[in-house]
Amino acid sequence: MQSSLRDVEESIKVEIKKAETDVREDVQAETSDLTALVNQVKVTMGQVAVKLELLDTVCQMVTDLAANSQVTT
């Protein structure tokens, strides 16, 4: 009886260790996925910033042209 209880206890400890390892691996995989997504968002934000800068330049050029224009409506 005593040895079977110890066997069960050891079996439970082994299963707990396996579960902890599985959870740790899952968390690491999810963390890697999230890190990749964050990096992708950073790149996209950089691209948007460049496009906004270009748009600002174009708007400024149009404003300057309109100010210098002799066209009347």
> What is the pTM for the complete model shown?
0.60
3-state helix, strand, coil in the chain (%, to 5): 90, 0, 10
- Write down the pLDDT at residue 22: 98
Q: DSSP assignment, residue 72?
A: -
Q: Give me the pLDDT at residue 35, please.
A: 97
Task: Give the per-residue pLDDT at 72.
Answer: 56
- Residue 1 is classified by DSSP as -
Check residue 3 and give its pLDDT. 83
Low-confidence ranges of the chain (pLDDT < 50): none
The pLDDT value given to residue 15: 98
Handedness of CA 47, 52, 53, 55 (dihedral sign): positive
Give the count of beta carbons closer than 10 Å to the beta carbon of residue 35. Answer: 10
- Would you give the end-to-end CA distance of the chain in angstroms? 101
